[in-house]
Structure 1
Amino acid sequence: MALLEIRDVVKRFGDFTAVNHVSLSVEAGEFFTLLGPSGCGKTTLLRMLAGFEQPDSGELLLDGKSLNGVPPEKRPVHTVFQSYALFPHMTVQQNVAFPLKMAGVAPDQIKARVAEVLEDVRLQQFATRMPSELSGGQRQRVAIARALVNRPRVLLLDEPLSALDAKLREQMQLELINLQKEVGITFIYVTHDQGEALALSHRIAVMSQGQVEQLDAPENIYSYPKSRFVADFIGQCNLLDATIRSVSAERMQIEIEGVGTLDTLPVAGATVGQKGTLALRPEKIKLGASVATGNADEVHFKGKVHDCLYLGDVTVYIVELENGMLIETMLPNAAPGRARFFDDNDQVELAWRFDAGHFVLA
């Protein structure tokens, strides 16, 4: 049995349906992420798990027992908010101890458990400091320690890294991964940041308009999106509208308007004449002044550099094909002394293997 089950849950606010018949399950010890754009329903779903909102229909179960109608303070579930919500007049130690005092735990037990959880988040030396004396990353760890001190079955995290700068956010991602492994508590994490979700999660539920578009491991969501929305939302992706012209067990031939026919991998349920989208990641495309031909498994196109974006480790190139279509690709900036390989209007050639893209049915 899964630790947490969400069964056909619906939540409306007036005429707006924020969560629309969502069903999913979360296993014990899992780092599970709810991912999607603003307004997709992910935070509303988290608030229902926390007990701050009640579903209009459907059921939430933890260890097989219904959470419907159970107030937040009676649930073995704690929440870490985006703002951290620390008490500014209390020390780190006092902030972390607060939930235990409210629960009536004996003072000697409070001292031992606070020391234990501060060690888990590596803040022992900051126990007597005030929140104002801490960095953003340290305050975030205090908030997590306070949420963990009561040993909840599930820890809910509502965009806890969004207020941090990019470098600190990356450091905290690694800390969260390690902390979750150490304490073994189930994490349910809400974010709109695709990279963050891919880096942290065991599984991701991609949400749109109150529904789950795809629930899978990060590598499957990235490489095998089940809808055009998922392909477009997760990372950078070329989306090439096409029509299926033939289907076999090993290959499928598609026609892209203005480009021509090319082979790709077949997908379940594909039929001749059906429309869809070839989702092609930029890093799967070869780029060069010329690309060696003769490989029957590759398609080749000529074009010119329309634009480029230098990102430090890589440069993203937007290539305009001879028919005017724009294709995004990228190259690592690995050559010493060179920032990028091509400039605007340089003549180039693109190539990719037939199995580089993933066809999404319309």
Structure 2
Amino acid sequence: MALLEIKNVVKRFGDFTAVNNVSLSVEAGEFFTLLGPSGCGKTTLLRMLAGFEQPDSGQIVLDGQDMSRVPPEKRPVHTVFQSYALFPHMTVRQNIAFPLKMAGWDAKKIASQVEELLEDVRLTQFGDRYPHEMSGGQRQRVAIARALVDRPRLLLLDEPLSALDAKLREQMQIELINLQKEVGITFVYVTHDQGEALALSHRIAVMSHGQVEQLDTPETIYSYPRNRFVADFIGQCNVLEAEVVAGNGDGTATIEIKGCGRMRVALRGEVAPGQKGWLALRPEKIKVGRALAVEDGEVHFKGRVNDCLYLGDVTIYLVEVGDGVVIETMLPNSAPGLAKLFDDQDQVEIAWRFDAGSFVTE
């Protein structure tokens, strides 16, 4: 049985349905992420797990016990907030010890547990400092240590890295992954940052308008989005209007891309002739060059570079093909020296394997 089961949970605020009949489960020891844009319901769902909000219907079951009406302080659950919520007048040790002190632990046991957590988050030498004497990343580690000090069954993290700069956020992502492995506690993490979710998670629930659009591993969500919303929301993606011409009976279909023509695409479900949808195709899956050999199983087009975006490690080239269709391609800047390969208006060819993209619907 899963550690956490969310069963048909609904939460309304007046006429607005923030969480709409959500069901999912989280396994013990899992790093599970709720991902979606602002207003999608992910934070409301997290607040219900914490006990700060009550569901209008449905169940939240933790370790086989329905927690839907259990107050926050009675749940074996802790929350780490974006704002850290540290006591400014307490040292790091005192902040971490606070939950144990309130629970009436023995002083020696508190001291031992605090030192263990300081070591886990690599802050042993900062125990006597106050929050204002520490960096944002260090304060976030203190907040996490305080939440973990009494070993909750579940740790909830509400966009805990969003206030940090990009480089520090990347460092903290690695620290969170390592810490979660070390302590073995189940993490439920909320973020709107797709890259962060892909980097951290064992599984991701992508949410929109109060519902789960797709729940799967990061690799599957990225490579095989279930619908147009997921394809558009997760990373960079070409989403090209398409219609099914015929199923080929071999796990592929022939589709027609508006403005481009017909091509073969791999399927992950059943389709019917005339069904409308989109081809979701990641830019890095596309080859681009001044001249490309035509290989079996590839879709091949000639086009013109409309624009480019240099990002340091990669350059994105917008290539116009067919009848005004623009396809985004991506090439690594791995060659020595200046790595830009094409300029605006250059004639190029692009190609991708038939199974590089996915046919998706609404």
TM-score of the superposition, structure 2-length normalised? 0.98
Aligned-partner Cα distance in 2 for 1:266–1:224: 10
Aligned-pair distance for 1:276? 1.2
Mapping of 1:165-244 within 5 angstroms? 165-244=165-244
Aligned-pair distance for 1:304? 1.1
| Residue of structure 1 equivalent to 2:258 | 257
Mapping of 1:210-359 within 5 angstroms? 210-250=210-250, 251-293=252-294, 295-359=295-359
Mapping of 1:99-118 within 5 angstroms? 99-118=99-118
Aligned-partner Cα distance in 2 for 1:230–1:306: 26
Aligned-pair distance for 1:223? 0.6
Residues 1:22 and 2:22 aligned together: yes
| Residue of structure 1 equivalent to 2:79 | 79
Aligned-pair distance for 1:268? 1.6
Aligned-partner Cα distance in 1 for 2:147–2:249: 52
Deviations 1:33-57 (A, max 9, x none): 0000000000000000000000000
* Count of residues paired in the alignment: 361
Aligned-partner Cα distance in 1 for 2:229–2:110: 48
Q: Which amino acid aligns with 1:15?
A: D
DSSP 3-state at the match of 1:317:
strand
Aligned-pair distance for 1:322? 4.1
Whether the 8 Å contact between 1:308 and 1:316 is mirrored in structure 2 is yes
Q: Which structure 2 segments of 5+ residues have no match?
A: none
Whether the 8 Å contact between 1:237 and 1:279 is mirrored in structure 2 is yes
DSSP 3-state at the match of 2:320:
strand
Q: Which amino acid aligns with 1:306?
A: N
Residues 1:129 and 2:106 aligned together: no
Aligned-partner Cα distance in 1 for 2:257–2:164: 42
Aligned-partner Cα distance in 1 for 2:190–2:148: 17
Aligned-pair distance for 1:339? 3.1
Q: Which amino acid aligns with 2:54?
A: Q
Whether the 8 Å contact between 2:35 and 2:193 is mirrored in structure 1 is yes
Aligned-partner Cα distance in 2 for 1:216–1:208: 15
Aligned-partner Cα distance in 1 for 2:89–2:136: 17
Q: Which amino acid aligns with 1:259?
A: C
Whether the 8 Å contact between 1:305 and 1:342 is mirrored in structure 2 is yes
Q: Which amino acid aligns with 1:275?
A: K
Aligned-partner Cα distance in 2 for 1:197–1:19: 20
Q: Which amino acid aligns with 2:154?
A: V
Q: Which amino acid aligns with 1:92?
A: V
Deviations 1:285-327 (A, max 9, x none): 000111112x231111111111111111100111111421110
Aligned-partner Cα distance in 1 for 2:88–2:206: 36
Aligned-partner Cα distance in 2 for 1:310–1:132: 39
Deviations 1:146-169 (A, max 9, x none): 000011000000000000111111
Whether the 8 Å contact between 1:248 and 1:266 is mirrored in structure 2 is no
DSSP 3-state at the match of 1:147:
helix
Aligned-partner Cα distance in 2 for 1:278–1:298: 15
Q: Which amino acid aligns with 1:58?
A: G
Q: CA RMSD in A?
A: 0.8
Runs of 4+ residues deviating >3 angstroms: none
DSSP 3-state at the match of 2:351:
strand
Whether the 8 Å contact between 2:259 and 2:322 is mirrored in structure 1 is no
Aligned-pair distance for 1:266? 2.6
Whether the 8 Å contact between 2:198 and 2:218 is mirrored in structure 1 is yes
DSSP 3-state at the match of 1:174:
helix
Query: Higher mean Cα deviation, 33-42 or 100-109?
Result: 100-109
Aligned-partner Cα distance in 1 for 2:111–2:25: 35
Whether the 8 Å contact between 1:249 and 1:266 is mirrored in structure 2 is no
Query: Higher mean Cα deviation, 318-327 or 67-76?
Result: 318-327
Q: Which amino acid aligns with 1:239?
A: V
Whether the 8 Å contact between 2:88 and 2:131 is mirrored in structure 1 is yes
| Residue of structure 2 equivalent to 1:95 | 95
TM-score of the superposition, structure 1-length normalised? 0.98
